[in-house]
């Protein structure tokens, strides 16, 4: 990918890849171990392949679960990403950071995503 925008913004750009929403992008980047702040152009071929597999994992799991969040695996960021009473400060022993990327609230785990 040669675009010089954060990968999170690129994933959510419907003119590039349709159907990826905010939580799906966060979850795929978490499973792909990629920081949402990384520029799309900075990803190696191996990272891009890992991200593609993570997107497939997240989408196929969500479809198989009938989009029932109670059926998503307990280790998913999804269950911890929300702020306030629904959220958590950590996933396992790693800190969850919430900030803005591409104009959207983003939850990510710097200890996992590089």
What is the mean pLDDT of the segment spanning 96-104?
Answer: 93
CB 97 within 8 A of CB 109: yes
* Predicted confidence (pLDDT) per residue in 53-98, tens digit: 999 999 999 999 999 999 999 999 999 988 666 778 899 899 999 9
CA distance 61 to 41: 28
Q: Residues in the chain, how many?
A: 114
Residue 63 lies in a domain: yes
Confirm whether 80 is domain-assigned.
Answer: yes
Domain membership of residue 23 (yes or no) is: yes
pLDDT tens column, 17-59: 898 999 999 999 999 999 999 999 999 999 999 999 999 999 9
Residue 113 falls within a domain, yes or no? no
Residue 2 included in any domain? no
Q: Which domain holds residue 13?
A: 7-108
Q: Report if residue 1 sits inside a domain.
A: no
If one counts the domains in the chain, the total is 1
Is the entire prediction scored with pTM above 0.85? yes
Residue 51 lies in a domain: yes
In sequence order, what E strands does the chain have? 90-91, 94-95, 97-101, 104-108
Give a yes or no: residue 38 inside a domain: yes
């Amino acid at each position: 990918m040669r675009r010089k925008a954060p990968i999170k913004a690129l994933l959510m750009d419907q003119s590039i890849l349709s159907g990826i929403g905010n939580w799906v992008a966060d979850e795929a980047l978490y499973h792909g171990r990629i920081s949402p702040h990384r520029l799309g152009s900075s990803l190696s071929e191996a990272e891009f392949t890992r991200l593609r597999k993570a997107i497939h994992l997240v989408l196929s799991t969500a479809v198989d679960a009938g989009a029932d969040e109670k059926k998503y695996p307990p280790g998913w960021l999804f269950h911890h990403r929300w702020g306030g009473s629904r959220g958590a400060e950590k996933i396992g022993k790693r800190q969850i950071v919430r900030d803005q990327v591409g104009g959207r609230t983003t939850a990510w785990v710097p200890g996992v995503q590089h």
